[in-house]
Amino acid sequence: MTDIDIAQASRPVLTAKDFASDQEPKWCPGCGDHAVLQQLKNVMPDLGMPPEEIVFISGIGCSSRLPYYMATYGVHGIHGRALPMASGLKTSRPELSVWVATGDGDALSIGGNHFIHTLRRNLDLNVVLFNNEIYGLTKGQYSPTTKIGLKTVTSPNGVIDHPFNTAALTLGSGGTFFARAMDRDGKYLRSVLHRAAQHKGTSLVEIYQNCPIFNNSAFEAFAGQENKDERTIYVEQDMPLVFGKFRQKGIRLDGSTPVVVDLSKGDISENDLWIHNERDIFKANLLARFFDDPLTVENFLPRPFGVFYVEDRMPYEDALTAQIEIAQKKGVGTLEELLKGDSAYNIK
Ligand code: SF4
């Protein structure tokens, strides 16, 4: 056994309580943020790392208060800039487990540019995007994910902006991991966060988070108890796309068009259905588009949850470290030499 093995073996077994800070959450009663916080605390022991090697970084918004409630290192940063801060930390301290807590406004509006570039660079970050389709902290302005038609303080006649589709944006930006979960699905959310933590690269987990004060029931059309079985689908690797209270419906591909089929008649079996493959970018993009159909269309596609897409690609910080090692073989210079020399802007 090495010294490191001995040190790890002698570490105490940690539980969720070890990751709870002494701060009482200041979120409203009934806010979905409480449930997400609990699942993040539950999943932390799975990392096998002590709290001092884990960092939560946030921007601004209700969800961005999360670092206060974790007994890890944390930074409550500035609006939209959690991802650049996390990127800087991960490149300089790649051994740390770096998490980002952000919201739909913080990540997709104020920080929208950082969002797309972080995803294409693929740093090994775990990004937890609380999507409540509203600006909660500032009292109910519409956000980039608010549905068309919603009346808010900044859209008194109803929103006319087409909303961002987080899944499509992630995949289109070159993201290497996308999953979706809901605040109310505690165990399932934990399993998705566990998968995200295992991914070597930027994992983007979109969580539908209810804001009972400014956008209550934003997800009820498909997530309410009376609708959930028929209007949601939980994808699982190598399994057919089946849903419905009695697993009586499935999704089949007609060319490249997903079609809902009735399994109860017996003429179509689960073997005829679309089999989920997290490595298939084409199908991940189709899943991302199970989103835009109004409930009234005949071929209504259920809202998907689970891990849509996973890709193995070298994280940015690994490529950077390798590049620095090669460059330093030529000798380690100083900043002053670089600035005063003639090679600062001339690659030799
Ligand atoms: Fe949660 Fe909404 Fe209250 Fe913010 S305003 S803490 S999102 S319920």
The first and second tokens of residue 328, run together, are 């330093």
For the cut 90, the answer to whether the pLDDT of residue 348 exceeds it is: no
Ligand 1 pocket test, candidate residues 214, 216, 217, 219, most atoms within 8 A of CB: 214
Q: What's the pLDDT score for residue 337?
A: 84
Tell me whether residue 109 is in a domain.
yes
CA of 143 to the centre of ligand 1 (A): 14
Tell me whether residue 275 is in a domain.
no
Tell me whether residue 304 is in a domain.
no
For the cut 80, the answer to whether the pLDDT of residue 8 exceeds it is: no
The CA-based angle 72-77-78, given to 5 degrees, is: 165
CA nearest ligand 1 atom 6, residue: 27
- If you average pLDDT over every residue of the chain, what do you get? 93
What is the phi/psi pair of residue 315, to 5°?
-65, 150
The DSSP bridge partners found for residue 175 are none
Average pLDDT over residues 180-204: 98
Is the CB of residue 134 below 6 angstroms from any atom belonging to ligand 1?
no
Tell me whether residue 311 is in a domain.
no
CA of 27 to the centre of ligand 1 (A): 6
For the cut 60, the answer to whether the pLDDT of residue 2 exceeds it is: no
Alpha-carbon distance values, 145 to 24, 135, 223, 291, 306 (Å): 29, 10, 17, 12, 19
CA of 89 to the centre of ligand 1 (A): 29
CA of 54 to the centre of ligand 1 (A): 26
CA of 213 to the centre of ligand 1 (A): 6
Q: How many Å apart are CA 135 and CA 143, to the nearest integer?
A: 6
The first and second tokens of residue 211, run together, are 């804001």
Is the CB of residue 62 below 6 angstroms from any atom belonging to ligand 1?
yes
Q: How many Å apart are CA 52 and CA 40, to the nearest integer?
A: 16
Q: What's the pLDDT score for residue 4?
A: 52
For the cut 70, the answer to whether the pLDDT of residue 297 exceeds it is: no
Tell me whether residue 108 is in a domain.
yes
154: left (phi over 0), alpha (psi -120 to 50) or beta: alpha
Q: What's the pLDDT score for residue 42?
A: 98
DSSP 52-101: GGEEEEE-SSSGGGGGGGBSSEEEE--TT-HHHHHHHHHHH-TTSEEEEE
Listed in sequence order, the residues at least 6 apart from 288 whose beta carbon sits closer than 8 Å to its beta carbon are 165, 167, 168, 170, 171, 178, 308
CA nearest ligand 1 atom 3, residue: 28
In the chain, the amino acid numbered 147 is K
The string of pLDDT tens digits covering residues 42-69 is 999 999 999 999 999 999 999 999 999 9
Percent of the chain with pLDDT over 70: 93
Secondary structure E strands in 83-228:
97-103, 125-131, 177-182, 203-208
Secondary structure E strands in 209-277:
232-234, 242-243, 249-254, 257-262
Q: How many Å apart are CA 169 and CA 300, to the nearest integer?
A: 22
Tell me whether residue 2 is in a domain.
no
Listed in sequence order, the residues at least 6 apart from 319 whose beta carbon sits closer than 8 Å to its beta carbon are none
Q: In terms of C-beta density within 10 A (0-12 exposed, 13-18 middle, 19 or more buried), how is residue 77 classed?
A: buried
CA nearest ligand 1 atom 1, residue: 31
Q: Is the dihedral of CA 46, 313, 308, 33 positive or negative?
A: positive
Tell me whether residue 107 is in a domain.
yes
Percent of the chain with pLDDT over 90: 85
Q: In terms of C-beta density within 10 A (0-12 exposed, 13-18 middle, 19 or more buried), how is residue 18 classed?
A: middle
Q: What is the dihedral of CA 19, 193, 207, 41, to 10 degrees?
A: -10
CA of 84 to the centre of ligand 1 (A): 25
Tell me whether residue 290 is in a domain.
no
Average pLDDT over residues 214-234: 92
Residue 173 domain boundaries: 9-218
Q: What is the dihedral of CA 328, 332, 334, 339, to 10 degrees?
A: -50
CB 125 within 8 A of CB 102: no
Q: How many Å apart are CA 240 and CA 251, to the nearest integer?
A: 8
Quickly state the pLDDT bin for 340 (edges 50, 70, 90): confident
Q: How many Å apart are CA 253 and CA 142, to the nearest integer?
A: 35
Q: What's the pLDDT score for residue 332?
A: 84
The number of folded domains in the chain is 1
Is the CB of residue 45 below 6 angstroms from any atom belonging to ligand 1?
no
Secondary structure E strands in the chain:
54-58, 73-76, 97-103, 125-131, 177-182, 203-208, 232-234, 242-243, 249-254, 257-262, 303-310
The string of pLDDT tens digits covering residues 149-171 is 999 999 999 999 999 999 999 99
Average pLDDT over residues 73-82: 97
CATH of the domain at 71: 3.40.50.970
Average pLDDT over residues 290-310: 81
* Other Cβ atoms within 10 Å of 68 Cβ, number: 16
Q: How many Å apart are CA 87 and CA 77, to the nearest integer?
A: 13
